[in-house]
Structure 1
Amino acid sequence: MFCLPHAGGSAAGFGAWRRRFAAHVRVCPVELPGRGTRWGEPPPARFAALVADLAARIKREADGPYLLYGHSFGALLAYELAHALRPVLGEPAALLVSGRNGPGVPHPALPLHALPKERLIERLRALDGVPAALVDKPELIDPFLPVLRADARLAELYRRGRHPVLGCPVRVFAGDHDPLVDPAGLRRWAEETTADCEVQTAPAGHMLTNHPVFLAWLARNVSGLAAGAAAPR
């Protein structure tokens, strides 16, 4: 399962998942440029170039049926990667996304990427996007702001390309008081596949990847999808 982070996030955010889901799937966090093990690289400037970069890395690591998971900005990346990888790896066994309306729905909120620092941090706090350790020390966020702004710009300016629909299942999860999603927008994911699309919500906000209900949802889907992918055909 290749995992794509939210805007400003890194592969480290999925570290605990390696053990949590080890019985069902090999978790492969995908590192984006400008953070973590790719800290010295410039932040992403173009969506298409970023997808091409990540697709090349995934192709080198994939060794059989695979899943794609992404949260928020990562959901868009996972969706685009499902199309980019289709000619060489085939479609994923499923596309799993959270915290984002369907790719045909424009970003619903006031753009973050060009806001002054103080207003940006205020908006991030509203989304629970500032780690607790940094809430009272916003100056420590400075090294991460260029990457966050670059990711947010790509997410906020994103427009769905002219892709054919996928044929794999789509699984969608969101918090029911997440300001960046709405029920109609979440249902739009069903337009992206000829297979089944299931949407689940829980009492949560935007940053929900450690929420117990989300983790139970992901475990249930990963175990079922992994078993289906491994079954003889």
Structure 2
Amino acid sequence: MEPPLAVDIDGTLTRPDKSVDPRVFDPLRDWNAPVVVATGKSFPYPVGLCEFLGITQNVVAENGGVVYVEDAEKIVHNGDREGAEAVAAAYREAGYDLGWGAVDMVNRWRETELAVSREQPLEPLERIADEHGLGVVDTGYAYHVKSTAVDKGEGLKTAARLLDRDPGEFVAVGDSENDAEVFGVAGRSYAVANADEKATDAADVVTDASFADGFLEALDRVRDE
């Protein structure tokens, strides 16, 4: 019997050009257990992905800041949006920019944290975040300013509770520092070959293949166990 699955999006379900690889669609649709999409992206993105894939909307968004389990009919907010907005204001006052241009689609629908382009200075961002009692995590795609008590692992715990599952039942697949937090909660974990050092160090298994190929390899390994 297939175990519940927790899967990242960027770098895991995608190709190197950041587009979602269509080869993951049917394996996710056919998985015979709950699938939780866990991402650093803002809340609408994983919900939309689930909608277009035709799978149940079980999502951990914004690095654990927002959790939604469709069948439980409940949204849980774990983050600190007011604190993140205060950091954004102070960062701008210090002469820096979030780095997303005049129309910031990255943060437009974000409810519990702040994302800053990795092209922007990190040190002042970390200092300002610390002054507001928040932390910064580098997902490889953006710097995320968030509550230090919130991460994707805590988000998976929330989702598992709403699904009436134990987090240790889950198999997790990911590629980044924020996925290492999920790996510490799930019962078994796979880092795809393109994963960063923190993710590969935390994973039980590192796949031979990268990106979506690595995800598909991980599913094959889970089925063979």
| TM-score band, normalised by shorter chain | 0.3 to 0.5
Looking at secondary structure, tell me which structure has more strand per residue: 2
Give the TM-score of the pair, scaled to structure 1: 0.36
Give the TM-score of the pair, scaled to structure 2: 0.37
